[in-house]
């Protein structure tokens, strides 16, 4: 629940505006998609008058990316930029050699991960003295459990 945008139009489940989770996780996709459509951003996805925005998920956004849908591309770009800001904040505090990213949005493909890296390097350009790798997790759904178990073993 690290806040990365005090002026965000999106409210997190914790009640704060601008939390990384509230603006850049899978739960934000329906609200983001609806906001773009209401603002008149054109979409190639089938959105009719009776479209249920609550059904928008990573699979639908990925389908949009695959057909070069402007709404999907805009959402993925924004989410990736915010995750890139979050990665930059982690770098500033801990300076880790590797940052491993997981979660459902990592299934959005290479564009998502490359955009995260790009935003990170844009922000950290003059501050990186040791190489840092930003990689996709291979653990998938059990990443949280594996991390918790590792902490218990320490």
20-153 in CATH: which number?
3.30.420.40
Distance (Å, whole) CA 47 – CA 101: 31
- Note the pTM of the prediction, 2 decimals: 0.88
pLDDT of residue 142: 66
Six-digit token string for 124: 């950290």
pLDDT of residue 60: 95
Please, which residues bridge with residue 98 across strands? 133
- Note the pLDDT tens digit of each residue in 14-26: 999 999 999 999 9
- Note the pLDDT tens digit of each residue in 92-124: 999 999 999 999 999 999 999 999 999 999 999
> pLDDT by residue for the chain (154 residues), tens digit each?
899 999 998 888 899 999 999 999 998 999 999 999 999 999 999 998 899 999 999 999 999 999 999 999 999 999 999 999 999 999 999 999 999 999 999 999 999 999 999 999 999 998 888 889 999 998 766 666 777 777 788 7
* CB neighbours of residue 121 within 10 Å: 15
Distance (Å, whole) CA 5 – CA 12: 12
pLDDT of residue 10: 87
Which of 53, 69, 65 has its CA nearest to residue 107? 65
151 contacts: CB under 8 Å, gap ≥ 6? none
pLDDT of residue 140: 65
Give the burial class of 7: count Cβ atoms within 10 A of its Cβ; 0-12 exposed, 13-18 middle, 19 or more buried.
exposed
């Amino acid at each position: 629940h690290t806040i990365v945008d005090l002026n965000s139009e999106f409210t997190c489940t914790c009640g704060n505006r601008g939390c990384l989770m509230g603006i850049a996780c899978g739960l934000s996709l329906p609200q983001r998609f609806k906001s773009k459509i209401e603002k008149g951003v054109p979409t190639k996805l089938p959105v009719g008058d009776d479209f249920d925005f609550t059904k928008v998920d990573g699979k639908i956004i990925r389908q949009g990316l695959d057909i070069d849908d402007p709404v999907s591309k805009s959402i993925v770009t924004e989410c990736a930029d915010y995750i890139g800001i979050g990665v930059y904040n982690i770098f500033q505090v801990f300076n880790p050699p590797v940052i491993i990213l997981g979660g459902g949005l990592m299934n959005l493909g290479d564009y998502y991960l490359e955009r995260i890296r790009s935003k990170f390097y844009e922000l950290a350009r003059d501050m990186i003295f040791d190489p840092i790798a930003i990689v996709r997790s291979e653990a998938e759904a059990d990443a949280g459990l594996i991390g918790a178990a590792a902490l218990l073993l320490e």
